[in-house]
Structure 1
Amino acid sequence: MFVVSKWSFALVPPVTLGFFRVALGAAALWVGLRLVGDPATPGREDWPALVGLGGWVTVTIVAQFLGTELTNASQGSLLTVLTPIFVVLLSGALLGERVTKTKALGIALAAVGTAVVVAGQYHLRRIAVGNAAGVALLVVASFAWAGYTVWGVAVVRKFSALTAATYSTIAATPMLGVLAVAELWYLGRGIATIPLSGPSLLSVAFLGFGSTAAAWYLWYKGLEYVPAGTVAVFYFLQPVVGTALAAALLDEQVGAWFVAGSLTIGAGVWVVSRERADEPARNRHGDGSELRE
């Protein structure tokens, strides 16, 4: 997602690209929800929570895309470690999830592994040099995604992952639409100036179907089974997957640091996952009935 979006900014402005991405993702999720169906449909009393999740989505997309445009890949990769940390802190404060010694150890291992992977792929000097505003925006994006994760728990467990992802994405679409119009006005560009070329359409399709519809649904699906803090630790795998794909598809070189860091991240994820595997499922619907065992 970071690679495709960074490349796409030359064709489509960041916020406008975010609008296209979320609008397409919302449409795909809506079709999926209609095909699958959900016995519990959100009522009027549920819309404040759904609109709130849409707000978290909007802040995430705007801050993430603007921050990505202003920074380099190494900074973006390194700052991903903040998201699971924010999730653990918020879930502890708002959901009462305990940060056990085992979970803290797993998160620490994964964070160290991420730093090792990034340091092994990029020069440390490149990580330190960059746009301060871009770094700040990526920090905001990390916190906003943590907010989307933690505040989404109640909605996911009352309805379903698909319902929560669908309606929150739909709620975010008009918010991003207004910001996209403002961005184009500020840049002095019209919608007609955005090229409808094959590459631009493919990038929007990837971001909409893959990075939004599929990824956000699967992220919320994890919340049906395990606590938010456990789901969050898998976020550490992003730089590993990104680097591995770059090596496989772009012939980028990986060395011993990447292997060592990846193994450390894997150990951290395994530690957190094992802790949850040894506990009985406690997730529930909003009515108190068991959700999954």
Structure 2
Amino acid sequence: MSATFGRYAFALAPLAAAALWGGMYVVSKWGFALVPPVTLGFLRVALGAGALWLVVAGRGGPAPARDEWSTFAALGGWVTLTVATQFVGTELTNASQGSLLTVLTPVFTVALGALVLGERVTPAKAGGMTVAGAGTAVVLAGRYEFASIAAGNLLGVALLLVASAAWVGYTVWGLRAVRRHGALRAATYSSLASVPMLGALAAGELWYLGRSPAEVPLTVESAAAVLYLGLASTAAAWFLWYKGLEYVSAGTVAVFFFAQPVVGAALGGALLGEALGPGFLAGGALMAVGIWVVSRERADPADGPAESTAE
């Protein structure tokens, strides 16, 4: 595989991650009826981290050095903050407010990538992000009533904003770990580091609610929600998101996040018979053009392949 082909092929990995996240809002909302949000987030990450670790263990290779675990602990902190605020915020908000997470995350990533990593915001990248964002907004406008954004829970909106910023931190500060260890190991060890943190928060949540772990219902529905969130939305999606960082900048990877609501709308149309309307086609086309423009940019010198590509 040539370096150029590899770069563009693996740049599609974040698009696959966005596709897996497309149905996460609905599944998590459904799961909250059965499992408290932070507890559901803990189960999600514990399952995802375990699945990733099994793959890493099966492939063999050295574990990170002791002094490198501080990096993964910090990334685990970003994971913990993301999942806890996202799930509690999702429970408190409506679908229109939840869409803010999708629209703002790429913008935050480009800004922080420029500030922290020195990534260039070229006219092509800025233009492509604008077009993709506009397309996503058109799709969202066709699905949700934006007037209800101000009518919902403001605390939930604030938590979703924190979740968006925390995921940006996981993306931007994770780039060097990805380039050093490869996407699989970086996603695995950062997820493992977050498990005890989320476990402590989940224990606190259950204590606050006056529930014991034994009272969390084990049903077909709750198991299905945890399996989807853990294996698809966490293990697979987080690996794919980091895989893109092996080859392109954080700002370039971020543009694929705009695809999440488009995939969600398409799934709603295909599986639930929801009407898509002309806005979906127009918005989806704009989003695709914007992603295409950004993904065709030549990489900065710092955007080369990872030092370790064992995956």
Q: TM-score range by the shorter chain?
A: over 0.9
Gaps of 5+ in 1: none
Report what 1:35 is aligned to.
58
CA displacement at 1:61 relative to structure 2: 0.1
Q: 1:19 aligns with which of 33, 42, 49?
A: 42
After TM superposition, the structure 1 = structure 2 runs for residues 48-127 of structure 1, keeping only pairs within 5 Å, are: 48-127=70-149
Report what 1:151 is aligned to.
173
Contact 2:46 2:230 (C-alpha < 8 Å) held by counterparts: yes
Report what 1:164 is aligned to.
186
Counterpart CA distance in 2 for 1:276 and 1:37 is: 34
Counterpart CA distance in 1 for 2:191 and 2:210 is: 28
Contact 1:113 1:261 (C-alpha < 8 Å) held by counterparts: yes
Counterpart CA distance in 1 for 2:136 and 2:100 is: 7
CA displacement at 1:263 relative to structure 2: 0.8
Contact 1:226 1:276 (C-alpha < 8 Å) held by counterparts: no
Contact 2:247 2:305 (C-alpha < 8 Å) held by counterparts: no
Gaps of 5+ in 2: 1-23
Report what 2:239 is aligned to.
217
Larger displacement relative to structure 2 (82-91 or 173-182): 82-91
Contact 2:44 2:234 (C-alpha < 8 Å) held by counterparts: yes
Counterpart CA distance in 2 for 1:282 and 1:80 is: 24
Identity, in percent, stands at: 62
CA displacement at 1:173 relative to structure 2: 0.2
Contact 1:117 1:240 (C-alpha < 8 Å) held by counterparts: yes
Counterpart CA distance in 2 for 1:152 and 1:79 is: 20
Counterpart CA distance in 2 for 1:281 and 1:44 is: 26
Query: What SS does structure 2 have at the residue aligned with 1:130?
Result: coil
CA 1:281 to 1:47, structure 2 compared with 1: closer, same or farther past 3 Å? Answer: closer
Contact 1:112 1:264 (C-alpha < 8 Å) held by counterparts: yes
Query: What SS does structure 1 have at the residue aligned with 2:296?
Result: helix
**What amino acid maps onto 1:85 in structure 2?**
V
Report what 1:129 is aligned to.
151
User: What do you get for the CA RMSD once the two structures are aligned?
Assistant: 1.7
Query: What SS does structure 2 have at the residue aligned with 1:98?
Result: coil
Larger displacement relative to structure 2 (169-178 or 88-97): 88-97
Q: Please give the per-residue CA displacement for 1:197-237, whole angstroms capped at 9, x wherever unaligned.
A: 11111110111100000000010011001111111100000
> Does the alignment pair 1:283 with 2:304?
yes
Contact 2:247 2:306 (C-alpha < 8 Å) held by counterparts: no
CA displacement at 1:120 relative to structure 2: 1.1
Larger RCO (CA within 8 A; separation ≥ 6): 2
CA displacement at 1:125 relative to structure 2: 2.2
CA 1:131 to 1:34, structure 2 compared with 1: closer, same or farther past 3 Å? Answer: same
**What amino acid maps onto 2:52 in structure 1?**
L
**What amino acid maps onto 2:149 in structure 1?**
I
Counterpart CA distance in 2 for 1:241 and 1:282 is: 27
Counterpart CA distance in 2 for 1:284 and 1:118 is: 35
Q: Please give the per-residue CA displacement for 1:35-81, whole angstroms capped at 9, x wherever unaligned.
A: 2234x531011011100000000000001001100111122123311
TM-score between both structures, scaled by the size of structure 2: 0.89
CA displacement at 1:127 relative to structure 2: 3.4
Aligned residue pairs: how many? 287
Report what 2:203 is aligned to.
181
Report what 2:20 is aligned to.
none
Query: What SS does structure 2 have at the residue aligned with 1:41?
Result: coil
Contact 1:78 1:115 (C-alpha < 8 Å) held by counterparts: no
Query: What SS does structure 1 have at the residue aligned with 2:217?
Result: coil
**What amino acid maps onto 2:57 in structure 1?**
R
TM-score between both structures, scaled by the size of structure 1: 0.94
**What amino acid maps onto 1:6 in structure 2?**
K
